[in-house]
């Protein structure tokens, strides 16, 4: 005879202790993050944050941050989706070396990435390109700097997303008449859309907060190459801690709102549901 509450009976003290331990760890981390924001909130006020919108430099930096992060995320995914699929599906003795090279932007300090970009664009091919399109210390340099770091993150995430799919589905698709390219577009790509969406969100967040390479490669010129992290740096450099914190809270607010909106949209627009491939 099956007992009522049999599931509850199976939840032993050991099980409850296990889940309680996990809850303690996550609670501790969340408390730490909230404490970080709470402690800083005493050094600024909501009026300081609202006052930021009356400053044309901050409005410009906010617009540029949103625009550059979105463009660099799209460019990152354009490279990361095919690269991640290749790394997840192909076997080559050079694969490990390729992966290490693609991880270089993650290993290097951000300032060094900026410095390397600056040097690259001073080489003859870089100068030739700049004679047609201004890059260094201009808006394209911000997108490139964010894109270099963002792509490295996105490639890793896309490789994991494709590796977690059942490769047999693509093989079966090929026996049904799909070429390798059709198996990718009809089977692997739609099946990985959840991973692609997560990669897009995290890459966008990474690009939005990028600072080191932008400072070196793009400079920190107000109303020209100033993004929100640059604004924080400029405010701190003139000793205006209250304004720097206000911009920081603005960044947190914008990022949290947009990421939340993306996730809610993703769930409602069947990004997380199967069956929207064709």
Partner 1 sequence: MQQGDFQLTDLSFTVPKHGFATLEGPNGSGKTTLLETILGLHSMRAGKIFLDDREITLSPVHQRNIGYVPQQGILFQHLKVYQQLEIPLIARGWHRSLREKRCEELIDLLRLHAFVSAYPASLSGGEIQKTALARALSFRPEYLLLDEPTAALDTDAKMQFYQLLRAIASQQSLTILCVTHDRFFRDQKIDHRFRLEKGILTLI
Binding site residues, partner 1, CB under 8 A:
166, 168-169, 171-179, 182, 186-187, 190-191, 274-278
Question: Among residues 113 and 187, whose Cβ is nearest to partner 1?
Answer: 187
Measured from the CB of residue 244, what is the shortest distance to partner 1 in angstroms? 46
Burial of 81 per CB tally in 10 Å (0-12, 13-18, 19+) = buried
Exposure on the CB side of residue 239, measured as CA atoms within 13 A = 0
Residues 235 and 249: their CA atoms lie apart, in Å, by 14
Q: At what angle do helices 139-163 and 193-208 cross, to 10 degrees?
A: 150
Residues 275 and 268: their CA atoms lie apart, in Å, by 14
> Tokens 């405010």 identify what position?
235
Question: Among residues 187 and 247, whose Cβ is nearest to partner 1?
Answer: 187
Question: Among residues 95 and 277, whose Cβ is nearest to partner 1?
Answer: 277
Residues 96 and 272: their CA atoms lie apart, in Å, by 31
Measured from the CB of residue 223, what is the shortest distance to partner 1 in angstroms? 47
Measured from the CB of residue 203, what is the shortest distance to partner 1 in angstroms? 23
Residues 157 and 209: their CA atoms lie apart, in Å, by 18
Measured from the CB of residue 272, what is the shortest distance to partner 1 in angstroms? 11
Find, among 149, 160, 159, the residue nearest to 208 by Cα: 149
Question: Among residues 52 and 173, whose Cβ is nearest to partner 1?
Answer: 173
Question: Among residues 126 and 190, whose Cβ is nearest to partner 1?
Answer: 190
Measured from the CB of residue 188, what is the shortest distance to partner 1 in angstroms? 10
């Amino acid at each position: 005879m099956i007992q009522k509450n049999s599931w509850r009976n199976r939840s032993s003290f050991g099980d409850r202790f296990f889940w309680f331990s996990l809850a303690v760890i996550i609670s501790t981390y969340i408390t730490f993050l909230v404490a970080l924001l709470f402690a800083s909130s005493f050094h600024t006020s909501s009026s300081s944050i609202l006052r930021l919108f009356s400053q044309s430099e901050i409005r410009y930096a906010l617009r540029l941050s949103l625009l550059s992060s979105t463009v660099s995320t799209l460019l990152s995914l354009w490279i990361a989706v095919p690269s991640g699929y290749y790394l997840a599906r192909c076997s080559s003795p050079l694969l490990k070396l390729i992966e290490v090279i693609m991880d270089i932007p993650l290993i290097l300090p951000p300032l060094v990435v900026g410095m390397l970009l600056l040097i690259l664009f001073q080489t003859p091919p870089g100068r030739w390109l700049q004679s047609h399109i201004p890059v260094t210390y201009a808006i394209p340099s911000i997108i490139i700097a964010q894109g270099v770091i963002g792509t490295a993150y996105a490639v890793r995430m896309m490789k994991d997303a494709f590796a977690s799919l059942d490769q047999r589905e693509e093989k079966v698709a090929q026996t049904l008449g799909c070429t390798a390219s059709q198996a990718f577009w009809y089977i692997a790509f739609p099946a990985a859309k959840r991973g692609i969406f997560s990669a897009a969100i995290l890459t966008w967040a990474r690009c939005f907060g990028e600072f080191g390479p932008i400072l070196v490669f793009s400079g920190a010129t107000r109303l020209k190459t100033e993004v929100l992290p640059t604004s924080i740096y400029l405010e701190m450099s003139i000793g205006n801690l209250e304004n720097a914190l206000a911009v920081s809270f603005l960044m947190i607010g914008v990022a949290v709102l947009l990421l939340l909106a993306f996730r809610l949209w993703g769930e409602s627009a069947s990004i997380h549901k199967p069956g929207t491939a064709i």
